[in-house]
Structures are given as structure tokens and as C-alpha cells.
Structure 1
Amino acid sequence: MGFRGRQDDLVARGGGVNAAALASLLPVAPRPAAEERLSSWLSRVAGIYGLSASALLDHFGLAGVSPLTLEQDLSAGQGALIAARAGLSASTIDAMTFATLAPHARVMIAPSARYFCPLCAQTPAIGRKDAALPWTFWCSVHGVRLRGRDKRPMQSFLPESVLERLDPLARRGVARLAAWAEERDAVGEIDPPVPELLRFLTTPYRRPSPPSLAEQPRLSLEARRANHAFLTRPIVRQALLVAAPEYDRFAPVLAKPVRPGLAALACGSLLQNYALAVGVARLTENPVEHAAAALAAADAEGETNLRRILRTWPSATRRRIGVELRRLTDAQPAGKAPRRRRLQRSSINYARVPQISARLVP
């Protein structure tokens, strides 16, 4: 690529660009794409001149500052400097940052796209802000359902009929999570805030147990012997499985456990975070019913775990949970736990697969 800017400022093919020209105004600076993040735009601009994004920032007078740091904590002076060099407005530069996120939520920002939009893949150099956040399940530009990093569609985990039923809940959960991230969560001022809901969802309600027969794929006797370690491996059972029984029913067994608290969102897969959004929505809309259901399904150790989390919930809510729990307990025959939804046995035959564990993780 070759073009001429000011006199004697020649951009030769592969030869970089005169530093004096970069120090004043870039000859060419593409406008940001819709919802593009600052680090993506800087990389695209730098590529025009055969530079890295860090080298471009050095020429801007921002040596030692990484693009990822700027998009999370851009000062007014830094934004004005980049805008002046690129010939854009300061507001355009600021719009590419995560300035709307509160400091407590910026740990959720991934350095690259968490999920994959099949239409955005046509322009892979453009990274969009929403794709860096764990509660984004639909492309903000094209509106299509996102896929995991392995490009597997959500329909490969949850049937379309289940997704149609859960999508409205997931969207309401997304709205609650986004409100918390931007410090405009009015619900959290009177009911349990988002971090407490996530702590509850990720708390074990039963002791770890190996995959049940319903959770195991169909295996020959030979395959069972070869995969004895997997079949007897204890799996953590968290309250998320009660709040989102659809996830419990269809998720690969090794993918069911999530990390505790906010780390569940920060480190979760597309499927896990979708289930967490559904769980947050259900606990937001009816915390009494779903918290009581988890307590009713818990064993003694799990009940202790859950009650420890509930100590931070409003006392009025805890009293109502107690009433609902007694109602659920009284409705069951003596010594019998509340009936849970039946799990669906996998239809895949792994008889010829010597190692199956990796195939059961999304």
C-alpha cells in the first residue's frame, strides 16, 4: 500500500511512515465500525502503517500504555490526544471504550471476543465491545445468536424449543447484569444484589456425586471399563441446577460446575453464562420460590451452605423463604425429597470411543 501525505511524508510499501506525520495527523484513519472497541480500532489503524497498536500509541505520545488499558480507563487528555491525531471527535474515541462500566465490573471485560458471530466473522479484524462481555448472547449489530469460541451453536446444547422458552428469561437476566455493571441496578437496592445472587447460584446444594445413569452416555461394557475414572468422578452440584433445571437436563455433565460467585461469569462458557443469566432472572423475579426450591432439594451439607449465603439477604425475604420451604416440605411424603425433573439420557453411543471425557465438555 502506498500513498502520500504531507510533502516528503511517503508511506512506502512495507516501509512504515514518517514519525513527524504521525505526530501531527494521520493521513488515513478509518472510522470505527458499529460497536467497535478501542483496541480493535487501534490495531486496524496501526496495520495500515505497518505498526503494532503499541507502536502507534508511542507515536501518539502515549508510550507505555496498552490499548486494553486505555479502553477500560481512558482519561479525557488521552482521548483528546488520540482524537487529534486521528481526525475524529473525542466523543467518538470515548464511545469505543468501556467507560459506562463501573470499576467493579471491568474484570468481566475479555481481552478478545468471548463469543463468535457468524456474520461478524466476515470482517474478523473488527472486535465489538459487546462480544467482550459475558452476558452478551446475541450480536449487537446483526441480532443473531452468538456461538462459543469453538463455533458450536447453542442449539447443539439446548433444543430450539427450550431456547425459545428460555430466551425471554435470559434477556431479562442480561438486563439485570448490565444494570449492575453500569451501577444503575435499582432492584439491588431493595433485593439481593447481583453478586449475592451469583453466590447463591454457584453454591453447592448437594455433595459432589458421580454422573447419574441419566447423565451418562450409552456405553458398552468395554467402554465402561475403559472410562471408569470418568464414571466415578464426583461432579459438583450447585444451586444453578435447581434454578435452571433445563441446564441440568441438557448440559454436558462435566460442564455443569461453574466457578464460585462473580468468577462464574468472568470465566464461564457461553452455555454456562446463558444458564447463569436465566438463574439471575428467576431469582430476581421470584427469589422466594427458587431459593426455597434449592433448600428443599439440598442435603444437610448443602442446606448449611445455602443458608450461609442467605444471611446477607433481606430479613423479610428470608422469612418468606422459610414459609415457602415449610410448604414444600409439608407437601412431600415423610422422608422424601421434592421430586426433581427427570434428566434426559444422552442418545450418543460412545462404545467405540476409548476416551469420552473431552467430548462431554462444551
Structure 2
Amino acid sequence: MVPRPSPDERLSSWLGRLARLYSMPAEALLAHCGLGRFSVRELEWRLGVGEGSVLAGRTGMTVEGLRRLTFDEITPQARLMIAAASRYVCPRCPAGLHRKATAFPWNFWCDEHGVRFGGRAGTGLDARLPQTQLTRLDPSARSGALRLADWAQGKEEGAPAVPALLDLLTTRHRRSSPPSLAEQPILSLAARRANHDFLTQPIARQALLVVVPEYDRVAPVLAKPVRPGLFSLAQGSLLQNYALAVGVGRLCADPVGCATSVLLASDREGEERLREALRAWSPALRRRVYARLRRLRAPETSPQRASQRLG
């Protein structure tokens, strides 16, 4: 008896279910099939013709059907994004079933049931963001997720590339600073003294907070900073990854406007870091960013501006 894979199920999940059916560990099942020198993780990365033929012969599956359970289509650069187990949980999927979509940080909906994923601890995005706001953010999140998925499969078109977008989003645009009064909880004088270390701890201020101000308003203050570059997604929480997907979507839709907004909100040191991150963008795009920045920084009272208004 061999259970058929569910839609989008990953190889480790299917082999685990098959092994439990026969009351053995997955490694023992592989050894019984003559693949004892391989781990489930190795086969999930790339299933060779030989290993696929052996496993197919034992299970009645086709090699192509088995390969669809692997992450063979993911480029080496993106493999750090694949979680060993499910990052997120669908409230309607059976326990013990792990779909490939839940391994990636940019998937926030279950295609099988059409519902939002929740965190592994059971907390969903609606715990931080009201439904009306999620509805407004979802189009950008979906757009960003598509761009990230294309990049992971080596099919990305357009510029800037995903690594350059994530580098910009995770660049510190201002000097690190303690929580502002708006970010601090309402505390008594005694509680403030007891929480002095928290209230004075410098927090990294990244471009993500400007591109996605909705995230800045709802994220726990100590959890606002994300890891730099690609690690921001690979090691982010559900809320952080959703904000990053929204940020990627907004940067793809309006790279010049978003980059200019971050530069306008930066301090001198932050602007230097941002300009360094923007070096990965095309020269034509950078020129448009800096041209808009100069126009926005020009004094509104200059004679030229005044004549333009009068004309």
C-alpha cells in the first residue's frame, strides 16, 4: 500500500507518511528501498535518474511524478529560502501533510483551500493587521511573491534583481535609535525604571519601514529589524516576510518613487549606505532616482519654482 501524494506535497512529507504507514522511520524506508546512503533531504534537493528509478519501482510512482515532489527547479542561490519543515500552517490541511508552498517565505495563501497561512505557533497576520489593511496590502504582496518565485526558479525578468531589492529594503537608512514615545508601551514610572534597558536599546532603522510604513506601525519594536539581504526572507517571521513581499511588490511597481522616498527620509550616513546599495541598479534607473531626488530637495521658494507657479 502506497498513499498517493497530495497536490504540491513535498517529498519529505510523502516519504514520512509512507514510512509511518509501515511504522518505521523515513531513513529505514529508504534503506529498505536500497537508498540507505541518501538522506530524505538530499533526495528532496535533487532526485537523480538512478535514485528516482529505484524509488519509483518500489512505490509504483513514475520518476517524473517523484521529481514534482522535489525542489529540483529551485536555483542554488535560492535554496537557503527552503525551510526544512513547513514555515507556515494551513488551518485546513491535514496534520503531517507538508506542501512545497509552505516551505517558501513568500507564500501566504494555501492554493488548495484558498485561506491564509498562519504561523507555526498558530498566530496569523490578522493578529497584527486588520482585514481591511490586509486587503489593501495583498495585491503588492502577491506581486512581490510572484517576483520572488520567478527569481527562485531562475525565470526572473526585469530589473532590479531580487537580491538588489532585498539589499535596499534591509539597508539602514537612519542611525539606530531607541524606541520612540509612539513605539513605547504606556508604562508607569516604576515600570519605566524596570524596563530601562528596553527603552534605551538602539533599534536598526531600515528602508523597509519607509517602503512599508504599515509594517512600521504594527511590528513589535524589538522585532522590526530584519536580517540583511537574502537572509531577511530566509530567517524572517510571517509578519516580516509578508512586509518584505509587499516591499518587493512596491519596488517593482515604482522603483524610482520608492527609492526616492527612502533617500528623502534618510540621514547623511544612511544616504551613503543607500547609494551604495543602489549601485546594483542600472545606471539609467539610478539617474532617474537622483534626478527626482534633486527636484524634491530643491527649495520651493526658488525664483524658478515661483515663476513656474505663476505661469
Q: TM-score, normalised by structure 1?
A: 0.81
Which of 250, 256, 275 is the matching residue for 1:288? 256
Residue aligning to 1:192: 160
1:271-326 residue CA offsets vs partner (Å, 9 max, x unmatched): 00000001111111111111111111100110010011111211111111011111
Distance 1:333 1:250, change over 3 A: farther
Measure, in 1, the Cα distance between the counterparts of 2:132 and 2:245: 18
Cα distance in 2 for residues equivalent to 1:243 and 1:298: 12
For residue 48 of structure 1, report the CA deviation from its aligned partner: 1.6
Q: Distance in 2 between matches of 1:32 and 1:248?
A: 41
1:204-283 equivalence runs, <5 A: 204-283=172-251
* Cα deviation digits, residues 116-166 of structure 1 (max 9, x gap): 11111xx21111111011111011211101111221121111111111100
When the two structures are aligned, how many residues end up with a matched partner? 302
Which consecutive segments of 4 or more residues in structure 1 shift more than 4 A? 331-334
* Shift in CA distance, 292/98, structure 1 to aligned 2, threshold 3 Å: same
1:78 has 2:46 as partner: no
Larger Rg: 1
Q: Distance in 2 between matches of 1:87 and 1:308?
A: 54
Secondary structure of 1:212's counterpart equals coil
Secondary structure at the residue paired with 1:42? helix
More helix by share: 2
Name which of structure 1's ranges 164-173 and 249-258 shifts more when overlaid on structure 2.
249-258
The match for 1:96 among 69, 77, 80 is 69
- Return the letter of the residue paired with 2:22: Y
Distance in 1 of aligned mates of 2:54 and 2:300: 68
- Structure 1 residue 333 displacement after superposition: 8.8
Alpha-carbon distance in 2 for matches of 1:271, 1:323: 34
Shift of 1:331: 6.1
Residue identity in the other structure for 1:186 = E
CA distance in structure 2 between the aligned counterparts of 1:39 and 1:95, rounded to whole angstroms: 12
TM-superposed deviation, 1:61? 1.1
1:165 to 128, 136, 141: 136
Within a 5 Å distance, the mapping from 1:15-30 to structure 2 comes to 28-30=1-3
Quote how far apart the aligned CAs of 1:94 are: 1.0
Residues 177 and 332 of structure 1: CA distance in aligned 2, closer, same or farther (over 3 Å): farther
CA distance in 1, matches of 2:270, 2:238: 26
Structure 2 unmatched ranges of 5 or more? 303-311
Distance in 2, matches of 1:333 and 1:80, equals: 75
Separation in structure 2 between the aligned mates of residue 221 and residue 119 of structure 1, nearest angstrom:
46
CA distance in structure 1 between the aligned counterparts of 2:6 and 2:103, rounded to whole angstroms: 15
Aligned to 2:309: none
State the SS of the aligned residue for 2:205.
strand
Is 1:135 aligned to residue 106 of structure 2?
yes
Alpha-carbon RMSD across the aligned residues, in angstroms, is 1.3
**Percent pairwise identity:** 55
Further displaced range: 296-305 or 63-72: 63-72
**Mapping 1:276-355, distance limit 5 Å:** 276-330=244-298
Q: Distance in 1 between matches of 2:240 and 2:165?
A: 15
- What is the aligned partner in structure 2 of residue 59 from structure 1? 32
How far apart, CA to CA, are the structure 2 residues paired with 1:273 and 1:39? Answer: 24
